[in-house]
A and B are shown apart, each in its own frame.
Chain A
Amino acid sequence: SAVISQKPSRDICQRGTSLTIQCQVDSQVTMMFWYRQQPGQSLTLIATANQGSEATYESGFVIDKFPISRPNLTFSTLTVSNMSPEDSSIYLCSVRVGLHSYEQYFGPGTRLTVT
Protein backbone atom coordinates (compact mmCIF):
# COMPACT_ATOMS: atom_id res chain seq x y z
CA SER A 1 0.00 0.00 0.00
CA ALA A 2 0.99 3.66 0.20
CA VAL A 3 0.53 6.53 2.61
CA ILE A 4 -0.92 9.53 0.85
CA SER A 5 -1.29 13.05 2.19
CA GLN A 6 -3.13 15.98 0.70
CA LYS A 7 -2.88 19.69 1.39
CA PRO A 8 -4.99 21.55 2.22
CA SER A 9 -7.49 19.27 3.91
CA ARG A 10 -10.22 21.84 3.35
CA ASP A 11 -10.60 25.38 2.12
CA ILE A 12 -13.25 27.99 1.51
CA CYS A 13 -12.60 30.10 -1.56
CA GLN A 14 -14.26 32.95 -3.38
CA ARG A 15 -15.56 32.51 -6.88
CA GLY A 16 -13.14 33.51 -9.59
CA THR A 17 -10.07 32.48 -7.63
CA SER A 18 -7.89 29.38 -8.01
CA LEU A 19 -6.74 26.75 -5.55
CA THR A 20 -3.85 24.32 -5.88
CA ILE A 21 -4.13 20.99 -4.09
CA GLN A 22 -1.03 18.98 -3.33
CA CYS A 23 -0.73 15.19 -3.16
CA GLN A 24 2.34 13.59 -1.60
CA VAL A 25 3.03 9.85 -1.47
CA ASP A 26 5.50 8.18 0.87
CA SER A 27 6.95 5.99 -1.89
CA GLN A 28 7.41 6.01 -5.64
CA VAL A 29 4.29 4.96 -7.50
CA THR A 30 3.57 4.15 -11.11
CA MET A 31 0.37 6.08 -11.56
CA MET A 32 -1.42 8.97 -9.88
CA PHE A 33 -5.00 10.06 -10.40
CA TRP A 34 -7.32 12.89 -9.42
CA TYR A 35 -10.99 12.35 -8.64
CA ARG A 36 -13.86 14.64 -7.79
CA GLN A 37 -16.66 13.73 -5.40
CA GLN A 38 -19.52 16.18 -5.55
CA PRO A 39 -21.76 16.49 -2.47
CA GLY A 40 -23.66 13.28 -1.83
CA GLN A 41 -22.37 11.68 -5.01
CA SER A 42 -19.89 9.10 -6.17
CA LEU A 43 -16.37 9.63 -7.46
CA THR A 44 -15.59 10.79 -10.96
CA LEU A 45 -12.13 10.55 -12.48
CA ILE A 46 -10.79 13.94 -13.56
CA ALA A 47 -7.46 12.89 -15.02
CA THR A 48 -4.42 10.68 -14.84
CA ALA A 49 -1.32 12.62 -13.80
CA ASN A 50 1.61 11.61 -16.00
CA GLN A 51 5.14 12.16 -14.81
CA GLY A 52 6.96 14.72 -16.90
CA SER A 53 4.19 15.15 -19.44
CA GLU A 54 0.68 16.49 -19.81
CA ALA A 55 -2.07 14.82 -17.84
CA THR A 56 -4.66 12.64 -19.56
CA TYR A 57 -8.10 14.15 -18.99
CA GLU A 58 -11.45 12.39 -18.95
CA SER A 59 -14.38 13.54 -20.98
CA GLY A 60 -15.85 16.71 -19.52
CA PHE A 61 -12.63 17.90 -17.88
CA VAL A 62 -10.15 20.27 -19.52
CA ILE A 63 -6.63 21.37 -18.79
CA ASP A 64 -7.50 25.06 -18.59
CA LYS A 65 -9.91 24.41 -15.74
CA PHE A 66 -7.95 21.67 -13.96
CA PRO A 67 -4.23 22.01 -14.69
CA ILE A 68 -2.24 19.14 -13.23
CA SER A 69 1.46 18.71 -12.61
CA ARG A 70 3.48 15.64 -11.70
CA PRO A 71 7.15 16.52 -11.49
CA ASN A 72 8.25 13.19 -9.98
CA LEU A 73 7.04 9.76 -8.88
CA THR A 74 5.80 10.86 -5.45
CA PHE A 75 4.12 14.24 -5.94
CA SER A 76 1.32 15.82 -7.94
CA THR A 77 -0.77 18.96 -7.86
CA LEU A 78 -4.26 19.75 -9.10
CA THR A 79 -5.36 23.34 -9.59
CA VAL A 80 -9.00 24.28 -9.71
CA SER A 81 -9.08 27.47 -11.75
CA ASN A 82 -11.55 30.32 -11.93
CA MET A 83 -13.75 28.63 -9.37
CA SER A 84 -17.53 28.75 -9.21
CA PRO A 85 -19.89 27.32 -6.57
CA GLU A 86 -20.35 24.27 -8.81
CA ASP A 87 -16.73 23.37 -8.10
CA SER A 88 -17.56 22.77 -4.44
CA SER A 89 -16.56 19.13 -3.99
CA ILE A 90 -14.12 16.80 -2.36
CA TYR A 91 -11.03 16.32 -4.50
CA LEU A 92 -9.16 13.07 -3.98
CA CYS A 93 -5.77 11.92 -5.10
CA SER A 94 -5.20 8.22 -5.67
CA VAL A 95 -2.22 6.09 -6.63
CA ARG A 96 -1.47 2.75 -8.15
CA VAL A 97 1.74 1.52 -6.60
CA GLY A 98 3.01 -0.89 -9.25
CA LEU A 99 2.35 -2.33 -12.69
CA HIS A 100 1.06 -5.56 -11.17
CA SER A 101 -0.84 -3.89 -8.34
CA TYR A 102 -4.20 -3.04 -9.79
CA GLU A 103 -5.92 -1.49 -6.82
CA GLN A 104 -5.81 2.21 -6.11
CA TYR A 105 -5.13 3.82 -2.76
CA PHE A 106 -6.72 7.13 -1.90
CA GLY A 107 -5.66 10.19 -0.01
CA PRO A 108 -7.88 11.75 2.65
CA GLY A 109 -9.30 14.28 0.21
CA THR A 110 -9.53 18.06 0.06
CA ARG A 111 -12.93 19.52 0.85
CA LEU A 112 -13.44 22.66 -1.23
CA THR A 113 -16.26 25.12 -0.73
CA VAL A 114 -16.65 27.96 -3.20
CA THR A 115 -18.74 30.95 -2.12
Chain B
Amino acid sequence: AQSVTQLDSQVPVFEEAPVELRCNYSSSVSVYLFWYVQYPNQGLQLLLKYLSGSTLVKGINGFEAEFNKSQTSFHLRKPSVHISDTAEYFCAVSEAGITSGSRLTFGEGTQLTVNP
Protein backbone atom coordinates (compact mmCIF):
# COMPACT_ATOMS: atom_id res chain seq x y z
CA ALA B 1 0.00 0.00 0.00
CA GLN B 2 1.09 3.55 -0.63
CA SER B 3 0.70 6.69 1.42
CA VAL B 4 1.26 10.36 0.72
CA THR B 5 2.12 13.16 3.11
CA GLN B 6 1.84 16.78 2.13
CA LEU B 7 3.88 18.59 4.69
CA ASP B 8 2.10 21.93 4.59
CA SER B 9 -1.66 22.31 4.80
CA GLN B 10 -1.49 26.00 3.92
CA VAL B 11 1.12 28.04 2.07
CA PRO B 12 0.64 31.81 1.81
CA VAL B 13 2.95 33.68 -0.55
CA PHE B 14 3.12 37.03 -2.24
CA GLU B 15 2.62 37.45 -5.94
CA GLU B 16 5.76 36.90 -8.06
CA ALA B 17 7.50 35.05 -5.22
CA PRO B 18 8.76 31.48 -5.68
CA VAL B 19 6.89 28.64 -4.04
CA GLU B 20 7.54 25.02 -3.13
CA LEU B 21 4.81 22.61 -2.09
CA ARG B 22 6.22 19.57 -0.39
CA CYS B 23 5.15 15.98 -0.90
CA ASN B 24 6.60 12.78 0.54
CA TYR B 25 5.40 9.30 -0.23
CA SER B 26 5.77 5.82 1.15
CA SER B 27 5.68 2.65 -0.91
CA SER B 28 7.34 -0.76 -1.03
CA VAL B 29 7.17 -0.87 -4.84
CA SER B 30 7.88 1.44 -7.74
CA VAL B 31 5.41 4.27 -8.09
CA TYR B 32 4.03 6.85 -10.42
CA LEU B 33 3.60 10.33 -9.01
CA PHE B 34 1.18 13.12 -9.87
CA TRP B 35 0.27 16.65 -8.89
CA TYR B 36 -3.27 17.89 -9.34
CA VAL B 37 -4.77 21.34 -8.81
CA GLN B 38 -8.33 22.04 -7.70
CA TYR B 39 -9.72 25.52 -8.17
CA PRO B 40 -12.74 26.49 -6.05
CA ASN B 41 -15.89 24.59 -6.95
CA GLN B 42 -14.15 22.66 -9.72
CA GLY B 43 -12.82 19.18 -10.34
CA LEU B 44 -9.16 18.22 -10.37
CA GLN B 45 -6.80 19.20 -13.17
CA LEU B 46 -3.59 17.32 -13.82
CA LEU B 47 -0.55 19.57 -13.42
CA LEU B 48 2.21 17.08 -14.11
CA LYS B 49 3.25 13.47 -13.74
CA TYR B 50 6.33 11.37 -13.17
CA LEU B 51 6.35 7.89 -14.66
CA SER B 52 10.01 7.25 -15.43
CA GLY B 53 13.08 8.87 -16.94
CA SER B 54 14.18 12.38 -16.07
CA THR B 55 13.54 13.18 -12.45
CA LEU B 56 12.66 16.79 -13.26
CA VAL B 57 9.27 17.04 -14.84
CA LYS B 58 7.61 20.14 -16.21
CA GLY B 59 3.91 20.70 -16.20
CA ILE B 60 1.33 23.25 -17.13
CA ASN B 61 1.15 26.83 -15.86
CA GLY B 62 4.90 27.01 -15.25
CA PHE B 63 5.01 24.36 -12.54
CA GLU B 64 7.70 21.72 -12.23
CA ALA B 65 8.44 18.92 -9.81
CA GLU B 66 11.47 16.83 -8.97
CA PHE B 67 11.33 13.15 -8.11
CA ASN B 68 13.85 12.18 -5.45
CA LYS B 69 13.84 8.45 -4.91
CA SER B 70 16.29 8.43 -2.01
CA GLN B 71 14.21 10.94 -0.10
CA THR B 72 10.90 9.58 -1.41
CA SER B 73 9.82 13.08 -2.30
CA PHE B 74 8.09 14.81 -5.18
CA HIS B 75 8.06 18.52 -4.39
CA LEU B 76 6.23 20.97 -6.62
CA ARG B 77 7.81 24.31 -7.49
CA LYS B 78 7.09 27.47 -9.38
CA PRO B 79 9.63 30.31 -9.67
CA SER B 80 7.05 33.11 -9.75
CA VAL B 81 3.43 32.71 -8.73
CA HIS B 82 0.37 34.65 -9.83
CA ILE B 83 -2.85 35.47 -8.07
CA SER B 84 -4.55 32.94 -10.34
CA ASP B 85 -2.44 30.13 -8.85
CA THR B 86 -4.50 30.34 -5.67
CA ALA B 87 -6.01 26.87 -5.33
CA GLU B 88 -5.76 23.53 -3.52
CA TYR B 89 -2.93 21.30 -4.69
CA PHE B 90 -2.95 17.53 -4.28
CA CYS B 91 -0.05 15.13 -4.57
CA ALA B 92 -1.01 11.58 -5.57
CA VAL B 93 0.76 8.25 -6.00
CA SER B 94 -0.07 4.99 -7.71
CA GLU B 95 1.70 1.69 -7.97
CA ALA B 96 3.66 1.40 -11.21
CA GLY B 97 2.55 -1.10 -13.82
CA ILE B 98 -0.13 -1.56 -16.42
CA THR B 99 -2.73 -3.38 -14.38
CA SER B 100 -1.83 -2.15 -10.94
CA GLY B 101 -1.20 1.48 -11.73
CA SER B 102 -4.77 2.51 -11.24
CA ARG B 103 -5.58 3.21 -7.62
CA LEU B 104 -4.57 6.77 -6.82
CA THR B 105 -3.75 7.60 -3.24
CA PHE B 106 -3.99 11.30 -2.49
CA GLY B 107 -2.33 13.49 0.07
CA GLU B 108 -4.39 15.77 2.27
CA GLY B 109 -3.84 18.76 0.04
CA THR B 110 -2.03 22.10 0.32
CA GLN B 111 -3.95 25.34 0.04
CA LEU B 112 -1.80 27.83 -1.85
CA THR B 113 -2.88 31.42 -1.36
CA VAL B 114 -1.18 34.08 -3.43
CA ASN B 115 -1.53 37.57 -2.02
CA PRO B 116 -1.00 40.82 -3.94
Chain B positions within 8 Å of A44 at CB level: 106
A102 and B49 in contact (CB under 8 A), knowing A42-B108, A96-B102?
yes
The range of chain B's interface size is: 20 to 34
A42 and B109 in contact (CB under 8 A), knowing A48-B102, A102-B32?
yes
Chain B positions within 8 Å of A94 at CB level: 44, 104
The distance in angstroms between the C-alpha atoms of A111 and B42, with both chains bound, is 10
Query: Chain B residue with minimal CB distance to A41?
Result: B108
Most chain A beta carbons < 10 A, residue from B34, B42, B43, B94: B43
- Distance in Å: Cβ of A67 to nearest Cβ of chain B: 20
Query: Chain A residue with minimal CB distance to B95?
Result: A102
Q: Tell me whether B44 and A106 are in contact (CB under 8 A).
A: yes
Q: Tell me whether A103 and B106 are in contact (CB under 8 A).
A: no
Q: Is B56 in contact with chain A by the CB < 8 A criterion?
A: no
A100 and B46 in contact (CB under 8 A), knowing A43-B90, A45-B104?
no
Chain A positions within 8 Å of B49 at CB level: 102-103
Interface residues of A in 101-115 (CB under 8 A from B): 102-109, 111
Interface residues of A in 1-57 (CB under 8 A from B): 1, 4, 31, 33, 41-45, 48
Q: Tell me whether A109 and B43 are in contact (CB under 8 A).
A: yes
Q: Tell me whether A100 and B98 are in contact (CB under 8 A).
A: yes
Query: Chain A residue with minimal CB distance to B109?
Result: A42
Q: Is A92 in contact with chain B by the CB < 8 A criterion?
A: yes
The distance in angstroms between the C-alpha atoms of A33 and B106, with both chains bound, is 14
Contact string, B2-40, partner A, CB cutoff 8 A, digits 1/0?
000000000000000000000000000000101010000
Which 8 residue pairs spanning A and B have beta carbons closest together?
A106-B44, A106-B43, A108-B43, A42-B106, A43-B106, A102-B101, A42-B108, A109-B43
New contact pairs (14) apart from A33-B102, A43-B90, A106-B44, CB-CB < 8 Å: A1-B46, A4-B43, A42-B90, A42-B106, A43-B44, A48-B103, A92-B44, A94-B44, A94-B104, A96-B102, A102-B32, A102-B96, A103-B34, A109-B43
21 chain-A/chain-B pairs, Cβ below 8 angstroms? A4-B43, A33-B102, A41-B109, A42-B108, A42-B109, A43-B104, A43-B106, A45-B103, A48-B102, A96-B102, A99-B98, A102-B32, A102-B96, A102-B101, A104-B34, A104-B46, A106-B36, A106-B43, A106-B44, A106-B45, A111-B41
